[in-house]
Every structure is written in structure tokens, then in C-alpha cells.
Structure 1
Amino acid sequence: MRSRTPAVPGPATVAAALLGLLLPLIAFVTPAHAAPPGFRITDGRLLESNGNDFVMRGVNHAHTWFPDRVSSLAHIKAKGANTVRVVLSSGDRWTRNDTADVANVVAQCKQNRLICVLEVHDTTGYGEQSGAATLSRAADYWISVQSALAGQEDYVLVNIGNEPYGNTGYTAWTADTKAAIQKLRTAGFRHTIMVDAPNWGQDWAFTMRDNAASVFAADPDANTIFSIHMYGVFDTAAEISDYLNRFVTAGLPIVVGEFGHNHSDGDPDEDTILAVTQQLGLGYLGWSWSGNGGGVEYLDMVTNFDPNQLTSWGQRLFNGANGIAATSQEATIYSSGGGDTTPPTAPGTPTASAVTSSSVTLNWAASSDANGVTGYDVVRVSGATETAATTTTGTSVTVTGLAPETSYTFAVYAHDAAGNRSQRSGTVTVTTSSGGPAVACAVAYRVANEWPGGFQGEIVIRNTGSSAVNGWTLRWTFPGSQRVSNLWGGTVTQSGSEVSVTSASYTATIAPAGSVALGFTATEGGTNPNPATFTLNGSGCSLT
């Protein structure tokens, strides 16, 4: 969905430009590179990993604004679609879709035997639309959720950013698109990448058309497909046919990533769009399933997300001539060796051991899967962001490269041979040591007094080693909403549920077999469970 009506030339101006700009698309050379593991572009065609020609027949779904409507994917499939383009947000303009949500969208696409095109919408109209994000920012978002997409190359295409320029500054599209593609490839993405045209997706200035060959050649995987959005600029059969045929003649892949039957900027010729894409064997994705606003509610295919209430636009796209029901063919990955769409069970919550200043060993209970678990992805979790840490085929791994005296939260995913990914495990938080000698310690924690909304706690730290502790930092994580308001025996800091106490001058030294005591008062929100783990100078302490 476009967030505003673009200012575009009238049909006469566009027609003249189409006739006048007869610059041929330059020839390109496909870079030599190992074949992508899933979808790939060959001779201007989108192919599945088995070499089957795949033609998209589907719709757009506004997931980021309607995250509770994920059941729409099943309804879209039931109408005959083989592909769905899913709207996501990087958090720059709308609520960010985090890694877990992206993984769930992919899982739902696979369960409904749909190919998933994922797009970041925050780039819409950059240069003209206030607050719009750059393609580089969109690429950073994809890297931040990469763990949800790893191994999904047979099922997912990454559409870097929606309509990534308005009608201002759009000549920068070529360089910015190349840079974004290369940023993703450098980060390890092997997916087919989809790039939208500038000019609110409609490319009336032909920036994408005339630079597509060089953009394609800049992809080291030679695995980029171009997306044109057809609204009021494409209101005649000649304009539609000329634009699409130029790509086909040049051997460059093209898909109509959005189009409608009407729009505030003009009346697109949807019949020709459907007929020409069918004639040329090109994909199309209509806008959009439901939930449109801002005066373009007529672009809803169903009313109020109800699959039983097709609008006239929905009836035309799904059931009309050259429509989805008549022309869609399901991806063969769902029937030829890739039919397994059931993810493994979630791994057990990891436990931490052998914590040093730069590493930690994690162990977890194995996942199960009818066809076997092929490996595990360990991720670092920070708020809504996940960062890949390492992968392993076993249920134990040592994560290295950590910073001293830093807290890290880890979780684990399992995956199977078909690329299905489990739900995320529970998380474990670990604080690395200072790099000094290990400390042997025991901690006794008790609630000495409690009242509505608050309590008094006591902590006794015992040195169970043979050497004195001279200066210390004690850390723990409250499992509830407890927050320390006052503490004696040390200096306290608290960030969220994580508490850190450094010794006072009179508690700094703990002799072998000796102990020191702390006291504190805190607030609590109705429950007051005890912390499960304590570390002293980065070393885990036993509980007594």
C-alpha cells in the first residue's frame, strides 16, 4: 500500500517518454559464482532450485499493520495463489517486525505452501516522503533478522525495500540499489533479491529500466529480480507491453510486484497487465488482500479480511481471465522432495557453563522432528534484535569472541533438512568474567521481610576458595519485576531485571572461608520469586 498519492506525469507525457526514450538496455555478463542454494535467476527467468520455472501468481498482504491477521495466508492460498508478498517494517516508520515474527511469517507461508516475498515498507517514497528510510537502512534490518531467513532460500525472496524513492532524488536509485544488494551478499544472504523501481515504484523516468542491466551485473550471485508497480502511469496497453517486453528482450527478470484496478493517480489497465504477464510468463502480485485506507479502500480484494466477501477487484483478480485461479501453479518444492513443512520442536532452554572473559559453553535438550534435526542455530538476543552467534549439529557449543564483564542473552533454534525452523528456545543470560582468576563462591539469598508492593532482602556471599577475594562485583537477574530501591554493603546499579553490586570498602575483602553480608529494600509487582543464579567477578556461585 502506498502511503500517499505520488505526483506523476499524465498519460500523454508518459506515452511520449516511452516513445522517445528508445535507449536499449545494455548487454550484461553474468558473474561467475557458486549457484545459489534456492531460487535463482537463469537467462532472465526465476527458477526453483530444481530448475523448475516459477511464475508468481499472488497478492500483497499488509502484515505489519495487521499482525493478528496471519490466518489470511491460509485464505490467500485457498483462493489459488502460489505467492504472497508480505509487508514488514524495519521500525523506522511503523512497529518493527522482530526476528521471531519474521520466522513465524515464513513458517506460516510454508505451512500454507506459499512462496514468501518479504518486503520492508519503510523505504516508501524516500526523498519525498517524510521519515522514509534508505535502502541501506532496509538492508541493515534484513541483516538484523537474518537468523529467521537462513536456510529458507527455497521458500523466501527478499524484497529489499518498497518503492525506494519518490519523485525527488530518484537518480540515486541505481547506486543505492547496487550498494544494498552488495551489503546483503557480504552479510551472507544467498536468497533471490527483489528490487522495486523508484518514482513510487512506477519508474516513469525509466531509471530502473535503463539501469537494470548494470544493477543485475553488480550482484555477485547474479540473483536479482526487478519489480515494477503498475498504477496510473500504466493506463494503456502500449505502455504496459513496451515496459515488460524491454526486460524480456534484454534477458532481465521482471515481475509486476504491485498493481490495482484503479488508483487516485489514474486508471491502470489491469486487463492488459494480466494478459501480457500471462503471455510473457511473468509473475504478478496484486495489491492487496484487505485493510487499505487513506482513500484507496477500493483496492481491498476482500472486505474486512473475510475470504467469503470478495470485492469486485478480488473477483477480477482471482477468478477473471488470466487471473490467479486460472493460471497459478504451486511451487514444486512443496511436492518434489520439499514437501516437509513441519518444523522441529523447540530446543530446550540452554544452560551456561565454563564462563570466561571471552567465551561461554551452552548446552540444551535436543529437538525432535519426524525427518530428523540437521542442526541448531545459536543466537544472541538483545531486545527485539537477534544476532547469529554460531551453528552446530550437536546440542552443545562454545560461543567465543565475547567481551569481558558483559551480559549476553542466548537462545537456540533447530532446523531440519527441508529448511523448516523451530520456534525459539527459552533464553539464558550470562555475564562474562573480568579476565582475572576464577572465584569460588556460594551465595545465600533470603527475603527477610515483606509487605504489599515491597520487601527487604539479605544476601550472604561466602568465599569457598583458598585465596582471598579483594574487590568484587556480584550480579544476578530478578525473575520478576523486583527493583532495588536501597542497598547497604555495596553500590548497586540495575538495568531492567539485571542487578550489579560492587563492593564497599568495608566489604571488599573476603578471606578464604569468610563471608560478607548485604542488605537491601526493593519494590515488587505482586510476585517475588528468588533469583536463580549469581556470579561473583564473572564466576558462577553455588546457592546455599
Structure 2
Amino acid sequence: MRKRLSVAGAALLTVLAAVFAFVQPAHAAAGFSVANGRLYDANGTQFVMRGVNHAHTWYPQQTSSFANVKALGANTVRVVLATGDRWAKNSAADVSNVISLCKANRLICVLEVHDTTGYGEQSGAITLDRAVDYWLSIASALNGQAKYVIVNIGNEPYGNQGYATWATDSANAIKRLRAGGLTHTVMVDAPNWGQDWSFTMRDNAATVFNADPAKNTVFSIHMYGVFDTAAEITDYLGRFRSAGLPIVVGEFGFNHSDGNPDEDTILSYSQANRIGWLGWSWSGNGGGVEYLDMATNFDPAQLTSWGQRIFNGANGIKATAREASVYSGTAPTPTTPTPPTPPPPPGGCTASYTIVNEWQGGFQGEVRVTAGSAAITGWTTRWTFTGGQTVSQSWNAALSSSGAAYTAGNVDYNGRLGAGASTSFGFIASWNGSNSAPAVTCTAS
């Protein structure tokens, strides 16, 4: 059962002072890593979370939930765990089983300790330091799993009181985890019941990031009643993007007891800026927020209106989720033969067009650009739709159009490709005639 206290709005404070520049991972790593404010998987491929929260610690028998959320298109699941201080402890063996369920279903596991929720205001809540004790006690389950697991130290640490030490406590917790041998990407939640109306996390994020010896920390904001306007959402997330600091929306809903979040802006802004998000929650809510269940009684055939919005709506999971590349090669062999890819020309580049997902009146497309026999420093693709298609948003490319003719060029981080190397960009579009795939040309620079 979830309990949240209402929080007051606050005026915007000063812009984050530090701007960081990092280099994208160039080769396979032991696990997830952070660079340029983005999250990359162990293959060096950017990963954008599109998933849901699952209350495993209160419903440990609901192991089918992992397969069910995957079948609906999710690429990530944030799993509620407990230390034994407030709720029954999830043992190392249980956590190992959770990780195996994630891997079997090709999901990325974000594991979070829930006992920290509302510390300083909620009776029984524990400190981040105590949460670290738990993580180190189950290190046997985590070791060797950094390709598939992100460690969210503690859920919503601090309520609306005593949160002034959030930065110091978060930094110390990260350093203890590193000293204890955990190499995983670490996620830290904001104070103020996760909503950071005081901007404590926003204004101290750079300091906390710098305190991580591995520079492998991601920040998580929870968006409920505090974030009820588009301006508040875009300003908060935008400041992290401008500062080059990685941010995800670790929880959000379409409604809440403390106000009505603007979920449409959360989804659209996150998609346009490649920011990860995890909706709250799959099923089993109590305490007056039962309306946040996405599935009734954990049944994927009984999606609620919230579940339909998250999985099947505009900018939802079905339209935007991409599976982590660390699972490539584990998917079943397609039953429909795929035409062979022509060999790359000497120099230059080629482009291929794929419809990733399609629904009535809309679809998600992807264009893959491949360098020829020589390295390139930039690329431009062009195509003309013939079925009345219109692109509404895109990512990983600079897109422009003139009528049905579209031009998409590289952005600063994906223009340089080695000989034979590939990159891709995607878009969401509508169609009102036929949705045939156009021919795409590629020009290298």
C-alpha cells in the first residue's frame, strides 16, 4: 500500500551551475554506464527506459507479471524490494529469482528499496545508510548482473522534513556501494516524497554525481501533484538536460491525491528528449490510490484506462519502447523471411526503413544508417511518403519536411560512423491512406 503526503508548490530557483561533458562509451562495458547525461547499456548503445513499477515485495506470488508487462511492450520494470525494517525482507535468493525473471523476459531490472519512503516524516522509514546495508548484504545476488540491473538505492528518501542532508547522504551512500564492490549504475530518488518541490535534488545533482567515483549515477524524479503543469515538467527535466545530468521519471501517474499530474506532457516531453520513465504501477495499489493500477487484479487482459494510456496511448510503451541491445540475439527467429541487406558501397552510406509498430491511424518508424567501406563524419537521409503519412515527432536525428518529402540528418552524437558501422533514428507518424514503406537515400559527409 502506498501512502503519500500532499506537498505544496514552490517557486522556481536558480539554474544548475555546473555543465558536464562526457564521452559516449566506445566499447562493451561490464554494465550500464552514463555519458553526456545519457544512459548506455553494456554494448555502448543508448537505452531509454519505458516501463512500469511492480510491487513485488507485497505480491511475491505474482511472478507472471514480468512476462505480462514484457508482452505489452515494456523494456524495463522497477521492482519494489524491502529490507525487513518495514516490510518482510527480500532475501538474496529472492532477488536472484527476480533478476532471472527479468532476464528471461528480456527486461532491465531497476531494483529499489522501499523502506526509505518518507524518512523524517513517515514513521518506521529507514535511512539511506541503512538501505546500503541491505544492498551489501545481498551483493551475491547482484554481482555479475550489472548488464541487466540498476540499483535504486532508496525510494523517496525523506518526506517534507529533514531533507537538507539529502545531497550528503546520497553521496555517502553511493561511495559506500562503490567501496563494497557494486559497479552497477546507481539511481537516486529525490526527497519531498520523491517530488523535489524544494529543488534540493535539482540544485545538488551535480555535486552528487561528482561524488560517485564511477560517475555512473542516474537521478529519478517522481511526478505527481507537484507536476500538474507543462511548464513545471519541462523546466525541471530541461534543467537536467541542459546540465548534462541523467534524469528519469521513476514514478508518475495520471491522477493523485495531492493533485492532477500532466501525464501527457510527461510522456511527450520525455519522448522528444529521450528521457526514460516508469509508470506507477502495474497492479495491487491500496490506501486510496487504487486508481493507479494499470491492470485489474494483475490480469493483463483487464487493463484499466491508466493501463491503456501507458501501454497503448500516444507516446506510450507500445509506440516508443526499444528492447535493451544486451538482449539482441535472444529473440525468436522471425517467421517471415527478411530480405538480405545489400553490401555497403565503397564509402558513402546506405539507409533502410522499418515500421517498428503500427496501430490504427499511427505508427512508429525507424531508419537505420550504415556507413560504407570508409568511415564517415556525418550523414543525411531523404525519403518521400506516398500514403499520406505525417511525422509528429522524432528522435536521434534533425528532421525537416516539405510536404511529403522528408530530410533527416545526424545530430552531434551519432554522425561519426566507422566503416560498416550503423546507427538509427526513429519517429512517430500518422497515416490516413496506405502505410507503404518509402525508399530512403543516404548521403555521407
Same fold flag (TM > 0.5): yes
Within 5 Å, which residues of 2 pair with 1:216-227? Answer: 216-227=209-220
Q: Is the 8 A contact 2:32 2:184 kept in 1?
A: yes
Written as runs of structure 1 = structure 2, the 5 A alignment for 1:134-533 is 134-336=127-329
Q: Within 2, Cα distance between the matches of 1:29 and 1:335?
A: 29
Q: CA deviation at 1:259?
A: 0.1
**Could you report, residue by residue, the CA deviation over 1:48-90 in whole angstroms, capped at 9, with x for unpaired residues?**
1111010000000000000000111000000000000000000
Q: For 2:90, which of 73, 92, 97 is the aligned residue?
A: 97
Over the matched positions of the two proteins, sequence identity in percent amounts to: 68
The structural deviation recorded for 1:36 is: 5.6
Q: Distance in 2 between matches of 1:131 and 1:160?
A: 17
- CA distance in 2 between partners of 1:203 and 1:324 (Å): 26
Give 1:170 shift. 0.5
SS in structure 2 at match of 1:245: helix
Secondary structure at 1:63's aligned position in 2? Answer: coil
- The whole-number CA distance in structure 2 between the counterparts of 1:190 and 1:278 is 28
Does 2:14 match 1:22?
A: yes
Alpha-carbon distance in 2 for matches of 1:217, 1:24: 14
Task: State how far apart, in whole Å, the 2-side matches of 1:170 and 1:116 are.
Answer: 28
Query: Which residue identity is paired with 1:335?
Result: S
Distance in 2 (alpha carbons) for counterparts of 1:301 and 1:230: 17
Structure of greater relative contact order (alpha carbons < 8 Å, 6+ residues apart): 2
**Counterpart Cα distance in 1 of 2:35 and 2:29:** 11
Matched residues in 1 for 2:115 and 2:241: separation? 30
RMSD across aligned positions (CA): 1.8
SS of residue paired to 2:151? strand
Work out whether residues 277 and 283 of structure 1, in 8 Å CA contact, stay in contact via their aligned partners in 2: yes
The answer on whether the counterparts of 2:132 and 2:176 sit within 8 Å (CA) in structure 1 is yes
Equivalent residues of 2:167, 2:208 under 8 A apart:
yes
Distance 1:302 1:176 in 2: 36
Name the SS of the counterpart of 1:119 in structure 2: strand
Q: Which runs of 5+ in 2 are unaligned?
A: 333-445
Q: What is the CA–CA distance in structure 1 between the aligned matches of 2:47 and 2:19, rounded to whole Å?
A: 24
Does the Cα contact within 8 Å between 1:36 and 1:190 map onto a contact in 2? no
The residue that corresponds to 1:446 in the other structure is: none
1:249 & 1:339 partners in 2: Cα distance?
36
**Inter-partner Cα distance in structure 1 for 2:53 and 2:220:** 13
CA deviation string 1:392-448 (max 9, x = no partner):
xxxxxxxxxxxxxxxxxxxxxxxxxxxxxxxxxxxxxxxxxxxxxxxxxxxxxxxxx
Query: How far, CA to CA, are the matches of 1:259 and 1:267 in structure 2?
Result: 11
| Corresponding residue number in structure 1 for 2:40 | 47
Please give the alpha-carbon distance, in whole angstroms, between the structure 2 residues aligned to 1:335 and 1:201.
Answer: 34
Task: Determine if contact 1:36/1:191 at 8 Å carries over to the other structure.
Answer: no
Tell whether the 8 Å contact from 2:28 to 2:44 is kept in structure 1 after alignment: no
Following TM superposition, the consecutive aligned residue runs of length 4 or more in structure 1 with deviations greater than 3 angstroms are 27-31, 33-36
Report the AA paired with residue 285 of structure 2.
Answer: N
Structure number having the greater strand percentage: 1
- Which residue of 2 is the match for residue 64 of structure 1? 57
Which one of 69, 80, 87 corresponds to residue 73 of structure 2?
80
Structure-2 separation of matches of 1:23 and 1:57: 28
- 2:157 & 2:16 partners in 1: Cα distance? 24
Where does residue 7 of structure 1 map in the other structure? 6
Provide the C-alpha distance between the structure 1 equivalents of 2:69 and 2:28, rounded to a whole number of angstroms: 31
Letter of the structure 1 residue corresponding to residue 214 of structure 2: D
Q: Please give the alpha-carbon distance, in whole angstroms, between the structure 1 residues aligned to 2:45 and 2:21.
A: 23
Cα pair distance change 1:316/1:118, threshold 3 Å = same
Distance in structure 2 (CA, Å) of the matches to 1:179 and 1:147:
22
1:91, CA displacement in angstroms? 0.5
Amino acid at match of 1:317: I
> Distance in 2 between the 1:281 and 1:29 partners?
18
Q: After superposition, what is the alpha-carbon deviation per residue over 1:21-65, rounded to whole angstroms, capped at 9, x for unaligned? A: 12333235779x999611000111000111101000000000000
1:30–1:217 CA contact under 8 A, matched in 2: no
Q: Flag the 1:190–1:161 CA change in 2: closer, same or farther, 3 A.
A: same
The answer to whether the 8 A contact 2:248-2:277 is kept is yes
**Mapped contact 1:28–1:217 kept (Cα < 8 A):** no
8 Å contact from structure 2 (residues 22, 36) kept in 1 = no
**Are the structure 2 counterparts of residues 83 and 135 from structure 1 closer, same or farther at C-alpha, using a change threshold of 3 Å?**
same
Matched, 1:130 2:123: yes
Output the amino acid matched with 1:182: K
Secondary structure in structure 1 of the residue aligned to 2:57: helix
Which AA in structure 2 matches 1:285?
L
Q: Distance in 1 between matches of 2:134 and 2:210?
A: 24
Aligned to 1:50, the other structure's residue is in SS state: coil
Amino acid at match of 2:266: I
CA-CA distance at 1:290 after TM superposition = 0.2
Residue matched to 1:401: none
Instruction: Please tell me whether the aligned partners of residues 25 and 212 of structure 1 are also in contact (alpha carbons under 8 angstroms).
Output: no
Q: Distance in 1 between matches of 2:200 and 2:21?
A: 20
Q: Which structure's CA Rg is the greater one?
A: 1
The aligned length equals 330
